[in-house]
Copies of this chain bind each other. A is one copy, B any other.
């Protein structure tokens, strides 16, 4: 691709001509003319989303501080453009036309489903509402920061009241069958309902809670580990992470990168450029390593897409819950296994010699401590779900039943005490700990637990097919694991909604009992 004077200078030139590249990106998997026309028009929405993702990644990883204002304006303009293109009458008409065609392939039906859903959600909210939501969450976030810093819930409470109202309004705009909260859940996890989540947490409460109590009452599982305090050098730990990623076969430099950011994340700019980040705090190195392994799981889902889906809306993971199942699979099933501890032990010793004082088994237990903690992001594999359960219970009341923000802290504290046996002493370590509600994000938390629970379920199915995962890890046969995941999950992209995907890939719906079994086997 080339255009007059675009790339032959030390400086971006102010002559802008459109670049046209005829050869790139002809889509093979889609034969229906209407769908092909649709995908051709979709290309520019794809391009804007690609650009937005790059802008977002750059903002977290590279951007000089003062770039924020211009970057925010650019992102805002791009999101408005993408919105406008999506809701352009000629585009919407084409999607409707495609919807009525019977003879579509599964992939084509997937394209139409995803676009219809995008259009439905995007067109649900009137501009005044979006403006109000945007303004409110912007100010609420500032108020939340101050409230958390000063441990002053009253500074945030009025904003939370407004955000709950907006959440209910959003649910009304979106529409729902049973409960308004269903509409919000569905936004983050297609097809998810309050009833689904209640059922899921029902099992957690009835079966995992007694297990947790048993683990905590026995002395077998450490509650903390001296390795948490070990200080490390960032460069050394970067080398450890690189060796782990190379062991997994992560295509660094070819189709991926790893960088550093305050909060680890994965972003995909397409099928062939998927990037992860991790963090280095200088102590408690499991955060750095397990974040890397976690994000690797997200990235693998994107990297193992069918390449024919490139430039289409079905390229990429189908939902947050399914995505999280992939990251948790690598973090919990692989990364927290004894075999993995043994595998990385020599790598750790090589780069951080002090670790030589400990054994591989120490690493294992350090990665697998169980300790009730007030802070969700500090939680271990077992207690984590209870943090989400508490948030779910509160969100459900917020949206389905209606409650004043002033009543929430007591509710929070009581639930935490009931579930984990600890009670926050401050708002900051209680209800004010997460940014999500300030951002207007209600209905998101349950996807974290879906991912955790599903990862154990997928592991059980994988073991039926390929035998012990631990043995594969010990033999460094990651390809077997990757292939199974590609075959069962990744290659479908977003063709099927989450529930249908599970039915097709493992023949059952989400079942938390697998996770309960995993915990039982691991800890008891």
Contacts and interface: CB of A to CB of B under 8 A. Distances in A.
A381 interface: no
A475 interface: no
Given A16-B82, A320-B13, A72 B8 contact: no
A439 interface: yes
A316 B52 CA distance: 23
A49 interface: yes
A80 to B, nearest CB: 4
Interface stretch (A59-67, A205-213, A350-358, A455-463): A59-67
Given A11-B265, A65-B253, A3 B70 contact: no
Given A67-B273, A83-B16, A134-B21, A8 B266 contact: no
Interface in A13-54: 13-22, 24-25, 43-44, 46-54
A479 B6 CA distance: 33
A103 to B, nearest CB: 27
A138 B79 CA distance: 31
Contact of A264 (B10, B294, B317, B435): B10
A112 to B, nearest CB: 15
Contacts of A76: 1, 18-21, 24, 47
B311 A73 contact: yes
A298 interface: yes
A427 interface: no
Interface stretch (A118-126, A194-202, A217-225, A508-516): A118-126
A180 to B, nearest CB: 15
Contacts of A270: 67, 70-71, 74
16 contacts: A2-B439, A5-B444, A11-B298, A14-B114, A18-B82, A21-B73, A21-B138, A22-B135, A25-B73, A43-B73, A46-B77, A47-B78, A51-B52, A54-B58, A67-B255, A74-B269
